[in-house]
Amino acid sequence: MAKADVLAIVTNLSNGQANPTLISQFYDDVVRDLGRDAWLTDAIATSVAAGQSLVQLPDTTITPQMQIFNGTQLGELNLQKAIWLYGQAWTTASGIPLDVVYEAETRKSFRLLPAPSANGTLTTITSEYRADVPNYLQWPIALLVFEIEFSRESDHKNAALAKVAGDLGRLMLAMLV
């Protein structure tokens, strides 16, 4: 379902009182929150050449969930453990990848450790931001956006209605699990 369709639901529920600019931002916030909770996931298959250790994920990635190299799930290391396990030359170690080390706080790039000594396939499971969400999420998202819109200071603020809408949206998400 397109973002515009969900925003139309919010506009109709609010009887035209919802601020179009703000509900668009609220939609983005709700979808990012759902992505962090792994509601919106994707599997990205990447061919990795021998010696290639750095992997960059798409900008739509919110949180990487797991990496699989040639059928083996990789562990996650912080920089301190990588140096402890692989020594000072941890960036040049070569072999069969067993671990990943994330490069930045955004977690959108990581290194395979050790770097693969042969070509292989890396599959990364990620949660992601999507402008178009599956149809079964349109009403929960619309209700959560409605909750935010009617909770903010405005001429149409209605805390009780906002709470009911938010509770219903979260209930619908819980029923999908």
Helices assigned H by DSSP within 14-158: 20-36, 79-86, 138-151
At residue 53, the 3 state secondary structure works out as: coil
Closest among 87, 139, 138 to 113, alpha carbons compared: 87
Q: What is the CA radius of gyration of the chain?
A: 21
pLDDT single digits (tens) 96-138: 999 999 987 778 889 999 999 999 999 999 988 888 888 999 9
Closest among 132, 129, 127 to 7, alpha carbons compared: 132
pLDDT single digits (tens) 57-103: 988 888 888 999 999 999 998 888 888 888 888 888 889 999 999 98
Helices assigned H by DSSP within 37-151: 79-86, 138-151
Q: Whole-prediction pTM value?
A: 0.73
